[in-house]
Amino acid sequence: MHQTSLDTFIQADLSGIAMEQWGGVCQSTEYCLTGETCENTKSGGRLERLERFREQSHKSYRPITVLTFRANYAVHQLAPAGYHAVNLALHCTVTILYFHMCSGLFFEGSPVPFMAALLFAVHPVHVEAVTGIVGRAELLSSIFFLLALLNYKGASSSLLNKSLFACALFVTLATFSKEQGITVLGVCLIYEVLIVQKLDLWSMIKHFPSPFHAYSMIKSKQCPNIGLRPMLVRMFWLVVLGALLLGLRFSVMGSTLPVFTNFDNPASYESAPVKQLTWSYLVAINVWLLLNPADLCCDWTMGTVPLVRTISDPRNLATLFTFMLLAHLSISGLLAANRRERNLVGLSLGMTALPFLPASNLFFPVGFVVAERVLYLPSMGFCLLVAYGFRRLYCNLPKARKCLRAAFYGLVLLHLLKTFMRNYDWRDERSIFISGLKVIISGMLHLLFPNHI
């Protein structure tokens, strides 16, 4: 068996050599797992071919995730059981950390953290991230995401302390596990404003005639809850860390964005308004997958989601309803009389929206139409909102408590059954292809399936 050395990890994975020189398209399992150059990559023809594909690389840079795969290979080689066992252990770790994070938002004894963690643990949309080995990136990034947020909670007690440096370390590890991990910086900023400083944003907007007046009110300590200097120092270091990580990440990519084909993201090759209408509709699809994870598919590329070409397309109603729902949640959270509810809604929406931004096509086109695994992190905020909504109804409707309790545990049971059945879909290529063909009417699966009959 080939031995994987630390030198290889540093020189190839950590430095991004594989992506810089070969465009990240080397498909040699021997090279990717052992770090040793196989015979195919030694030949000049193969290397030249890889060089030609350099600009078409997806340019993923996830050295922490690759390191865990190297460790898996050192123990299990290519036996899949070890890889699945690690993914399952990581998912359990994420669930425990998520419960711990939610517990800090509520009074001791509140059932909401347990309800949210239970929903998160069994949500069917997580099957791709946990059962699919490639989902290791989501799992690792989520662990470091939550550890960064938990350490930032400790860092908020003083100007600079060990917790703030630990937070910076975990943010870096989250980013180098998967790119969306950097969005925890935005969640930390929301936590600082809403939880630490206890800012009532609506009151500030309502009573302060201008930002300059607001600043003077804060500085003159007419808002007693605000520690201006510690807050600004912590925010400054978060912004600096984010800029450094983005600069390093962009440098590793060769200072160019990845280029995706029409098969990966058809809307990116369309002009306005088709591009914007389609990408906005994809937000509605992702929200629907969280609400109703009944129709799940392993491959959403090509024509799985037809382009939205006109304003009159009825699917725009789904887009409009989705954004109206998100706006309603945001405004109702901002106007809530209860400060704890304002904080909860704000933080939950931040944990839902911010980790999804890198996959939303808002800043740059991504290499897929829909990918269920990217909903792993955003589902944390979603599950917290659902659990809190059940709790609100339970408290406000005493006569319907038995029905609400039955509805919640019924939902958990349905999710558990769907997750169990969905894992069977992933047992081999034929079964996962057949399950996908039941959901989509066209796409890559229709082209690939004949080869697996």
pLDDT tens readout for residues 382-423: 999 999 999 989 998 988 999 999 999 999 999 999 999 999
pLDDT, position 213: 54
How many domains in the chain? 2
Mean per-residue pLDDT, 195-205: 70
pLDDT, position 168: 92
Instruction: Give the residue from 153, 152, 124, 128 showing the smallest Cα distance to 138.
Output: 128
What one-character-per-residue DSSP string does 210-252 give? SHHHHHHHHHTTSSTT--HHHHHHHHHHHHHHHHHHHHHHHHH
Q: Is 33 a residue whose pLDDT tops 70? A: no
Q: Are 364 and 284 in the same domain?
A: yes
Q: Are 84 and 51 in the same domain?
A: no
Confidence of residue 280 (pLDDT cuts 50, 70, 90): very high
What does each C-alpha distance from 415 to 96, 127, 155, 367 come to in angstroms? 19, 11, 36, 28
Residues 6+ apart with CB under 8 A from 276: none
The domain boundary residue, chosen from 23, 38, 57: 57
Q: Identify whether 12 is part of a domain.
A: yes
Q: Identify whether 202 is part of a domain.
A: no
What does the mean pLDDT of the chain come to? 79
pTM of the model: 0.83
pLDDT, position 237: 87
Confidence of residue 173 (pLDDT cuts 50, 70, 90): very high
pLDDT, position 222: 45
Q: Which of 51-65, 93-107, 249-263, 295-309 has the lowest mean pLDDT?
A: 51-65
What one-character-per-residue DSSP string does 422-451 give? HHHHTSSHHHHHHHHHTT-SSSHHHHHGGG
Q: Angle at which helices 184-191 and 339-353 pack, to 10 degrees?
A: 170
Mean per-residue pLDDT, 431-435: 81
Q: Are 247 and 153 in the same domain?
A: yes
In this structure, the number of other CB atoms found within 10 A of the CB of residue 142 comes to 29
Q: Is 234 a residue whose pLDDT tops 90? A: no
Mean per-residue pLDDT, 193-203: 74
Confidence of residue 260 (pLDDT cuts 50, 70, 90): confident
Q: Are 339 and 292 in the same domain?
A: yes
Mean per-residue pLDDT, 15-29: 41
pLDDT, position 202: 62
Q: Identify whether 1 is part of a domain.
A: no
Q: Which amino acid is at 153?
A: K
Mean per-residue pLDDT, 261-280: 83
Residues 6+ apart with CB under 8 A from 184: 144, 145, 148, 149, 170, 171, 174, 355
Q: Are 38 and 99 in the same domain?
A: no
Q: Identify whether 210 is part of a domain.
A: no
* Cβ(256)–Cβ(23) below 8 Å: no
Confidence of residue 224 (pLDDT cuts 50, 70, 90): very low
Higher pLDDT, 421 or 445: 421
Q: Percent of the chain having pLDDT more than 70?
A: 76
pLDDT, position 430: 80
Q: Which of 12-21, 236-245, 410-419 has the lowest mean pLDDT?
A: 12-21
pLDDT, position 120: 96
Q: Is 75 a residue whose pLDDT tops 50? A: yes
| Cα–Cα distance for residue pair 267/429, rounded to 1 Å | 28
Higher pLDDT, 147 or 271: 147
Q: Are 253 and 330 in the same domain?
A: yes
Q: Which sign does the torsion angle of CA 198, 204, 205, 210 carry?
A: negative
Half-sphere exposure of 255 (CA within 13 A, CB side): 0
Q: Identify whether 220 is part of a domain.
A: no
Q: Are 435 and 344 in the same domain?
A: yes
Q: Identify whether 119 is part of a domain.
A: yes
Q: Is 289 a residue whose pLDDT tops 50? A: yes
pLDDT, position 12: 55
Q: Are 51 and 79 in the same domain?
A: no
Higher pLDDT, 92 or 208: 92
Q: Identify whether 222 is part of a domain.
A: no
Q: Are 291 and 339 in the same domain?
A: yes
| Cα–Cα distance for residue pair 81/210, rounded to 1 Å | 60
Parent domain of 33? 6-57
Q: Are 44 and 183 in the same domain?
A: no
Q: Are 371 and 335 in the same domain?
A: yes
Mean per-residue pLDDT, 296-324: 88
pLDDT, position 225: 47
Confidence of residue 263 (pLDDT cuts 50, 70, 90): confident
Q: Are 40 and 167 in the same domain?
A: no
pLDDT, position 204: 59
Q: Identify whether 208 is part of a domain.
A: no
Q: Percent of the chain having pLDDT more than 90?
A: 42
Mean per-residue pLDDT, 84-95: 96
Mean per-residue pLDDT, 79-90: 93
Confidence of residue 105 (pLDDT cuts 50, 70, 90): confident
Q: Is 295 a residue whose pLDDT tops 80? A: yes
